[in-house]
Amino acid sequence: MKAVFVLSLSIIILRAKAWSSVKNPFELMVPPIKIHPISDCMHVTTEEGDFVFKKIPHLGRAENEKEMNMVDVENPMTVCGLYVVGQPDKLVEITIKHLDVNCESGGLMAFVDGWELNGHYFPGVKDHHRSLNNRVSEFCNDHSHWPVMSYKKTFRSSQNAALLQYRIPIRGSFIANVHFRTIPEPCNIMVEDVSSYYTLRNYGRRGNCTLTALFPAVVSLVSINVGGKPESEKVDYECDSMEDRLDVGGTGGLDSYDMERSTYICGHTKKPGPEQAIFCGITSVRLMSSGKYHNEAVLLVRQADENDLELASLICPL
């Protein structure tokens, strides 16, 4: 009975594909899930859908040289990742729909609340409200335990960036569904566009909120209200309160807690500030808040190129 149902459903889907000009009445009710094969070891996505990975062992000798090189280069213990980034006000929800990653043969997967690159994390380890242990959840299929549990698990990130890491030495596969959900009060934001406006807010809370771009960027202030000052014509670059301020700067690695700073800004104005270029691998803007004020800063961030060198306010060593 079930098989017949699946069959007729797949026929409907096939027909819908074949007659793409004919409106499918089911389309409104159940939007189709997009399938994305994972092709690169570092696979970056801004899309929702099912991400599919499958590794089958290479048997016999490689047919051509290109394939042989690939086999040689590939280290079985390599850790790869699906790097997901959504709109600034979204969190990432990842549901593992299928898992065949065997613990005994060295297979392992991990969901990371944020991104990890070369041992550095976004948001920075000291900036996150969760400890690193709680931000990383490891899992695999353990066939030594009985009964073998069917694996269906859902993870959620605290900001618009999340990472699904995997290490599959010999063979294995997984299907992970990526879905974005709205967060009412986003704090840390990963820049997902090469040119866009972003708002940093503390919602009256104490702590740091960081906006991070994974490229050298030109940053300019659109408006600012930091430190509870009366509105004026200009921004303050000599902030008397060190606790409430906006820092602009950069780093080589993902963690911007100890970033090199080019400027710190506070005050209250709607007058746009000048552009400044940060020539570092990672550009960050940090809003620091004592919790005494409702701080807010609107920024324009765009990717920097060689024409922006004269705007440089910080150049990181390579």
Ligand X SMILES: *[C@@H]1O[C@H](CO)[C@@H](O)[C@H](O)[C@H]1NC(C)=O
- Beta-carbon contacts of 241 under 8 Å, excluding residues fewer than 6 positions away, are 227, 266, 290
**Counting contacts by CB under 6 A, is residue 206 touching ligand X?**
yes
Contact 163, 112 (CB under 8 A): yes
Angle (CA) 137-143-148 rounded to 5° is: 85
By rule CB under 6 A, what count of residues binds ligand X?
6
Residue (208 or 313) nearer to ligand X, CB: 208
Pull the structure tokens for residue 113: 């609340």
Measured from the Cβ of residue 93, the count of other Cβ atoms closer than 10 Å reads 18
CB nearer ligand X, residue 164 or residue 278: 278
Please compute, for residue 283, the number of CA atoms within 13 A of its CA located in the half-sphere on the CB side.
Answer: 27
Looking at 39-47, 57-65, 95-103, 205-213, which segment touches ligand X (CB under 6 A)? 205-213
For strand 312-315 and strand 276-279, is the pairing parallel, antiparallel, or unpaired? parallel
Structure tokens at 200: 């940093």
Closest-approach residue to ligand X (CB): 208
Name the residue nearer to ligand X (CB basis): 139 or 257: 257
Question: Smallest distance, Å, CB 235 to ligand X?
Answer: 20
Residue 226 C-beta: closest distance to ligand X, Å = 14
Does 151 bind ligand X (CB under 6 A)? Our answer is no
Segment contacting ligand X by CB under 6 A, of 56-64, 202-210, 226-234, 293-301? 202-210
Among 207, 228, 252, 272, binds ligand X (CB under 6 A): 207
CB of 124 to ligand X, least distance (A): 8
Region of 101-109, 203-211, 215-223, 296-304 interacting with ligand X (CB under 6 A): 203-211
Pick from 102, 188, 202, 208: which binds ligand X (CB under 6 A)?
A: 208
| DSSP string across 159-188 | SSEEEEEEE-SSSEEEEEEEEEEE-SS--S
Q: Does 257 bind ligand X (CB under 6 A)?
A: yes
Query: Binders of ligand X among 64-123, rule CB under 6 A?
Result: none
Closest CA to 297 of 207, 195, 209: 209
Q: Does position 17 bind ligand X by CB under 6 A? A: no
Under the binding rule (CB under 6 A), the answer on residue 313 touching ligand X is no
Cis peptide before 147 (omega within 30 of 0): yes
Q: What angle do CA 69, 74, 76 make, to 5 degrees?
A: 150
Does 139 contact ligand X by CB under 6 A?
A: no
- Does position 288 interact with ligand X (CB under 6 A)? The reply is yes
Chain residues binding ligand X by CB under 6 A are 206-208, 257, 286, 288
